[in-house]
Chain A
Amino acid sequence: MTGANGSSLVQAGGVAIEGRNLVLSFGETPALQGADLCVKRGEIVAVMGPSGSGKSTLLYCLAGILVPDSGEVYFDGQRLDAMREAERSRLRRDRFGFVFQFGQLVPELTAEENVALPLLLRGTHREEALREARSWFEQLELEGMERHRTGEMSGGQSQRVALARGLVAHPDVLFADEPTGSLDSMNGELVMGLLTRVARQQGSTVILVTHEPRVAAYADREVIVRDGRVSSMAPVMQ
């Protein structure tokens, strides 16, 4: 089912991103042992699995943060794993969005500056980027907190800011690693409701690592990673 360089399938099938036979070890410890994952454009996929199964490693390989020892990662018809670091870095900046478990906001910046960051890095004029960032605060239910810094916000509020930062530049793919892992049920619901609603409106593909079934239930389908390999549990969205 794969073409000579994989790109024809990736484009023809409406595939957003695909990892094939990914293998990666950290020293003597194998993390991925032949993992395959193909995600269609606009699809929201939850990656589940026990601790240490390789689910976050898979996410970072697909996002071009880690390079597999062998195997291939395709994004938009390009071999992401074969790119130079500078090229991958540009791709991450221009086409991908990220949300991590603990928000990882820049503490020196205000909430609106944090949201605007991906736009500023892409070269958007500062005033325009901040205007766009401010427009997110109503749907984040954070009106009035635009100038607050990380220390002045709760964990749930910070995570909503981090989510807006991940989505503000309309990424082709949003990579979310346990985005509700540090939140209580109510804040987790707020974040996931917002994430899925905005991603669907924008047409962003989402790859979501989670160990929580209630979070995975927001996805179109889920896959399980066991011992560095992926087993699907439901057919790919048609």
Chain B
Amino acid sequence: MSVPMALLGLLDREPSHGYDLKHDYDAYFARGRPLPFGQVYATLARLARDGKAIVGEAEPGAGPDRKRYTITETGKSEVEAWLAEPIPAEPYLQTDLFVKVVLSLMLGRRAEEYLDAQRAAHLRRMRELTELKQRDSLVDTLLADHGLFHLEADLRWIDLTEARLAALAEEVAS
């Protein structure tokens, strides 16, 4: 998660105070890991230093910092470029799933049992995410769906690997 880009993106909607930005960030993106105030203000200071945001004069009111931040044209361009850029399509080739299966086969252990246990753990988590979708907001549903599709991809790999275990064991042993 790029905190600076998320905050800059929120600023692109409208000028805002640090307190309000933190509130919006926590509401949409934090998922149980709220952003510390210190990190909010440090990030905003860096965005201002780099010419991506402008700090206004302090305004009267409650709260530790009543300065209003406004995104600059440079900041707007950066948000637009960031939104358009695909994230790297990670191949996940070093995943623990893969390492555990290969090591199990090398060590003569029963990889099927590990795969069964992993499948059960994945499905348990998928049930939790499915329950979450049924009671929470559409934003939470979006995030839960992302998790569900990734877990499902793992499960497909688990199924296929299980079907290939005998051949894999021969290859690893040779």
Contacts and interface: CB of A to CB of B under 8 A. Distances in A.
A219 B134 CA distance: 13
A219 B122 CA distance: 14
A224 B124 CA distance: 14
A214 B123 CA distance: 8
Contact of A50 (B126, B127, B163): B163
A47 to B, nearest CB: 13
Contact of A217 (B126, B159, B163): B126
A219 B145 CA distance: 17
B134 to A, nearest CB: 7
B102 interface: no
Contacts of A233: 116, 119-120, 123
Nearest to B116: A233
A77 B149 CA distance: 41
Interface string B147-167: 011011001000100010000
Nearest to A226: B162
A196 to B, nearest CB: 8
Contact of B134 (A193, A213, A222, A231): A193
Contacts, number: 36
Contacts of B155: 213
A224 B159 CA distance: 11
Interface residues of A, number: 14
B146 to A, nearest CB: 12
A214 B148 contact: yes
A219 B126 CA distance: 10
Contacts of A80: none
A193 B148 CA distance: 15
Contacts of B119: 224, 233
A50 B159 contact: yes
A183 to B, nearest CB: 15
B130 interface: yes
A216 interface: yes
A193 B135 CA distance: 11
A234 interface: yes
Interface in A195-238: 212-214, 216-219, 222, 224, 231, 233-234
B35 interface: no
A231 to B, nearest CB: 8
Interface of A: 50, 193, 212-214, 216-219, 222, 224, 231, 233-234
14 contacts: A50-B163, A212-B152, A213-B151, A213-B152, A217-B126, A217-B130, A218-B130, A222-B123, A224-B119, A231-B116, A233-B116, A233-B123, A234-B120, A234-B124
Interface of B: 116, 119-120, 122-124, 126-127, 129-130, 134, 148-149, 151-152, 155, 159, 163
